[in-house]
A and B are shown apart, each in its own frame.
Chain A
């Protein structure tokens, strides 16, 4: 009896479901027709973006469930790549540790430094401002120039840092900055921070130019007492879009550190002391040609980044309150 009732209920639901779906779809259709113009604006970007950015990601995620050595067509192997990564690849676990260390230290420092540099610079007269913006952004603009750090941190006594430290008597023997596992991380972090005043910084500089000046005037009247109160209650709330942009750019950069390491500390690094997730991925993808495995690594990294993005967005919601 009861079962019958439930089943008729189910049937009723199903019977209602189809027309509702149809109605919703037609509503959506008319809604979309009404917004034809919006889609027209979006179309050029949307089409190219889908073809060259989204589709490759989808294909990569598909590869992550296959064995694919680029030469033969991919073979479906289910979750095997993921299982191997977490159960039998010690180096992967090591690389996760290194990546988190890089991300948690260089990420926040670079984010706050970018913002405060932009904010401090904004206080200065116009000419000086322009010069300082150029100086701070120049390292990001300079492409491969960061390689000069290999001379500055050169491992013999002729390196600048070693020479200086030995002369003032702090150390008696030269330190192998980029080869000694004890020093490799801090040394690389300095170089990474040097190159990291980038997209976020420029967005902050531009964002500070588009603030509504009348709010500041109102703030003076309302009794904002010093520059820090002004920053928290007036500047930051207006800058939320830029703050979010900077945060996401910082996440994508600091979790994807690899390219800076190779010319300085080699590949792989001594004892894998600075082996990041991306290093691991490049190792499998472009050296061993195990694209399936490399794609699985990329997918995991992707999930980690999306997760941190959610957390950061929550934190940014608290700004100005």
Chain B
């Protein structure tokens, strides 16, 4: 097949394409400038951070802030790698299980018929609307009843069943044509195989997106309320402790903000490339 992108698409005018690009450039600048500013801040020496009037771009870039941050990290009570390990560990385990568990539930909610399914799904959506500020206390009561306070369980297990995941996956699973699933069943595949081999590949853009949401949430998870042993604290908690020590840490604080952002950003870029890549190969078709 001749590459479609070379051919001029029907229903598109040059004028429309141009407006489209101009609008996007304008808003992209609005979105990006504050971030550019934040990145610059991380490399500003202390006197430039408190300079008036503030300059947008850094003049004498320095790695002092980063060095300062590492010095503070080394002075912490437990080795800093421990906080790092905790966050990486709960992020990986939580994200993998969340995607599998949420997708399995979403699959039957979208493609099976059984009593109670609509009620269940409506409850899942409504759970998104109740303020987490209020449920924090009942949540703590439940955790302590289970004996999970101050364990990894308290951080990982709730993340596995975040309602957002089921909602997102179900919306995409609905678009899968039943005929594709039926033909796999006729070929003798059991439901687990149909789910893993047929349904999941078809909704790859969806779970790549869910991967971002889950990764982002767990990476920034401050488990402070459920976990109090120093060995179990997460990276955001430890970093907050550093920032809380005072004004003189302003440089380190801006380095922290940047540092916390880099890892999810890299994961995001990789997964987005995959989302966009899948288009030509696996648009859902009968």
Tell me the A residues contacting B by CB distance below 8 Å. Answer: 28, 31-32, 35, 37-39, 41-42, 44-46, 48-49, 51-57, 59-60, 63, 70, 113, 117, 120-121, 123-126, 129-130, 132-139, 141-149, 151-152, 154, 158, 160, 163, 194, 197, 199, 202-203, 205-207, 209-214, 219-220, 224-227, 229-230, 238, 241-242, 244-245, 248-249, 251-252, 255-256, 258, 278, 281-282, 285-286, 291, 294-295, 297-298, 301-302, 305-306, 309
CB distance from B151 to the nearest CB of A (A): 14
Q: Are B128 and A210 in contact, CB atoms less than 8 angstroms apart?
A: no
Q: Say yes or no: is B95 at the interface (Cβ < 8 Å to chain A).
A: no
Of B34, B41, B209, the most chain A CB neighbours within 10 A belong to B34
Q: Are B123 and A302 in contact, CB atoms less than 8 angstroms apart?
A: no
Bound-state CA distance A238–B283 (Å) is 12
Bound-state CA distance A195–B38 (Å) is 14
Q: Are B131 and A278 in contact, CB atoms less than 8 angstroms apart?
A: yes
**In the complex, how many residues of chain B place their beta carbon closer than 8 angstroms to a beta carbon of chain A?**
100
CB 8 Å contact bits of B1-43 with A (1 = contact, 0 = none): 0000100001111001100110110011011101101100100
Contacts of B102 in A (CB 8 A): 45
Tell me the B residues contacting A by CB distance below 8 Å. Answer: 5, 10-13, 16-17, 20-21, 23-24, 27-28, 30-32, 34-35, 37-38, 41, 52-54, 56, 101-102, 104-105, 107-109, 112-115, 117, 120, 123-131, 133-135, 137-139, 141-142, 157-158, 160-161, 163-164, 166-168, 170-172, 174-175, 191, 195, 202-203, 205-206, 208-209, 212-213, 216, 220, 257, 260-261, 264-265, 268-269, 272-273, 275-279, 282-286
Of A48, A53, A135, the most chain B CB neighbours within 10 A belong to A53
Q: Which 7 A-B pairs have the closest CB atoms?
A: A48-B161, A241-B171, A45-B105, A35-B114, A206-B205, A59-B138, A56-B135
Contacts of A38 in B (CB 8 A): 108, 112, 114, 117
Bound-state CA distance A28–B116 (Å) is 10
Q: B37, B205, B279: which contacts A148 (Cβ < 8 A)?
A: B37
Contacts of A214 in B (CB 8 A): 285
Q: Are B283 and A209 in contact, CB atoms less than 8 angstroms apart?
A: yes
Residue of B at shortest CB range from A139? B31
Q: Are B114 and A143 in contact, CB atoms less than 8 angstroms apart?
A: no
Contacts of A132 in B (CB 8 A): 24, 28
Bound-state CA distance A41–B279 (Å) is 28
Q: Are B261 and A143 in contact, CB atoms less than 8 angstroms apart?
A: yes
Q: Are A301 and B105 in contact, CB atoms less than 8 angstroms apart?
A: no
Contacts of B170 in A (CB 8 A): 241
Contacts of A241 in B (CB 8 A): 170-172, 174-175
Bound-state CA distance A232–B35 (Å) is 34
Contacts of B114 in A (CB 8 A): 31-32, 35, 38-39
Contacts of A258 in B (CB 8 A): 133
CB distance from A221 to the nearest CB of B (A): 10
Q: Are B53 and A163 in contact, CB atoms less than 8 angstroms apart?
A: yes
Q: Are A248 and B125 in contact, CB atoms less than 8 angstroms apart?
A: yes
Bound-state CA distance A130–B205 (Å) is 13
Q: Are A305 and B104 in contact, CB atoms less than 8 angstroms apart?
A: no
- Known interface pairs A46-B105, A56-B142, A212-B284; 9 further A-B residue pairs with C-beta atoms within 8 A, sorted by A's residue number: A41-B191, A45-B102, A121-B24, A138-B31, A141-B265, A209-B275, A219-B11, A245-B171, A256-B131
Q: Knowing A49-B124, A56-B142, A135-B32, say if A142 contacts B261 (CB, 8 Å).
A: yes
Q: Are A56 and B139 in contact, CB atoms less than 8 angstroms apart?
A: yes
Contacts of A206 in B (CB 8 A): 172, 205-206, 208-209, 275
Q: Knowing A132-B28, A136-B28, A139-B35, say if A285 contacts B129 (CB, 8 Å).
A: no
Q: Are B11 and A230 in contact, CB atoms less than 8 angstroms apart?
A: yes
Residue of B at shortest CB range from A143? B220
CB distance from B150 to the nearest CB of A (A): 16
Q: Knowing A123-B17, A213-B283, say if A139 contacts B174 (CB, 8 Å).
A: no
CB distance from A123 to the nearest CB of B (A): 6
Bound-state CA distance A145–B265 (Å) is 13
Of A120, A125, A144, A151, the most chain B CB neighbours within 10 A belong to A144
Contacts of A226 in B (CB 8 A): 11, 13, 16
CB distance from B181 to the nearest CB of A (A): 13
Q: Are B34 and A139 in contact, CB atoms less than 8 angstroms apart?
A: yes
Contacts of B41 in A (CB 8 A): 148
Of B128, B208, B285, the most chain A CB neighbours within 10 A belong to B128
Contacts of B265 in A (CB 8 A): 134, 138, 141
Q: Knowing A52-B142, A298-B134, say if A212 contacts B115 (CB, 8 Å).
A: no
Bound-state CA distance A180–B32 (Å) is 27
